Amino acid sequence: MKNTGDAIHVALTFDDAFWAPAYATMRSVCVATDRKADLVFHLLNLGLTPAHRKDLDAISEEFGATLVYHPLEGTDLLGERISRLPAVKTRRLHNIVYARLFIQHLLPADAERVIYLDCDVIVRTPIEHLAEMDMAGRTIAAVQQPERFKQAGGRDLREFKAISMARPYFNAGVMLIDLARYRQVDIVGVLLDRVPADQIGRLYYDQDIINIVFADDIFELDSRWNLQNPETSHEAFNPLIVHYSGSIKPWALKPNVAYARTYRHTMTNKLFYRYWRYRVVRATKRAFGLA
């Protein structure tokens, strides 16, 4: 693993079902920069099969980037550490979303910064421009959630005492993290101090937690660094990072989203169609109770 000041650390979290989107995200980072050999991808993964890991290894073979696998089975990252946090019960999400809260325990001590990326993201600009950005002394840099009122207030915009709708609310799918500052924060401890026990269940998982724990400590990035739920008309904004945060994902066979063809070619046609078939088989097995 690179331990020099030239390394650009990027972290992703995913389970085996999202190996191909993780590949596409990493490949987009590599394609968009001339500093490919400086890239160090930290892959916080769960249940990754040898065959899918081989697909991911192709990133190193094609671009010379470094891949560091962090298998989470058998660690306390998704065990006791999150036992007091709301259990993730939706089909779209998994308890692995909490792993990003604790990446400081997995990355090397000499890593000063890390860029966290969701796996439904493609990068369209040199990632070092984000990695080396002035954070104005804040711990995290992120983009506001466009629908922050709904995200913070839920149905009927009912105020959640721990999250004020009068304050900025940030999306956690793209973040630049100052690890030296981040390591000093007891995230679960601060959360439990700030949120009454009877309100913990209202949290929108890790994203609410980040907004509560790091309130007033998040540097706001321009929205082009995390263009969320992008439609084709949004291509006119020339986004730097595209985040398919809505329900329609670019790995659908005919997705009506921005840069759909670019996404397919980034994943590569071969893997794109193999992943599509994988998802069809998986959905069929679920429908008949076989998975």
Which residue bears the tokens 């999202």?
18
Report which of 79, 102, 91 is spatially closest to residue 13, judged by C-alpha positions: 102
- The CATH number of the domain holding residue 65 is 3.90.550.10
**Is 92 a member of any domain?**
yes
Q: What integer pLDDT is reported at residue 198 of this predicted model?
A: 78
| Number of domains present in the structure of the chain | 1
Q: How far apart are CA 132 and CA 21, in angstroms?
A: 25
Q: How far apart are CA 244 and CA 230, in angstroms?
A: 6
Residue stretches of the chain with pLDDT short of 50: 3
For 28, 251, 260, the CA distances from 21, given in Å and listed in that order, are: 10, 8, 13
Report which of 58, 50, 40, 17 is spatially closest to residue 268, judged by C-alpha positions: 58
**Is 2 a member of any domain?**
no
**Is 282 a member of any domain?**
yes
**Is 13 a member of any domain?**
yes
Q: How far apart are CA 27 and CA 32, in angstroms?
A: 9
**Is 3 a member of any domain?**
no
The neighbouring-strand residues paired with 175 are: 116
Q: What integer pLDDT is reported at residue 3 of this predicted model?
A: 47
Q: How far apart are CA 272 and CA 94, in angstroms?
A: 23
Q: How far apart are CA 189 and CA 186, in angstroms?
A: 5
Mean pLDDT of the chain: 91
Report which of 245, 250, 252 is spatially closest to residue 262, judged by C-alpha positions: 250
**Is 120 a member of any domain?**
yes
Q: What integer pLDDT is reported at residue 113 of this predicted model?
A: 98
Note the helical H segments in the chain: 19-31, 50-63, 128-131, 148-153, 179-182, 187-194, 205-213, 260-267, 269-287
The whole domain housing 18 covers 8-287
Q: pLDDT (tens digit, 9 = 90+) per residue, 38-97?
A: 999 999 999 999 999 999 999 999 999 999 999 999 788 888 888 888 777 655 557 888
Amino acid at 221: L
DSSP 8-class letter at 145? P
**Is 59 a member of any domain?**
yes
**Is 1 a member of any domain?**
no
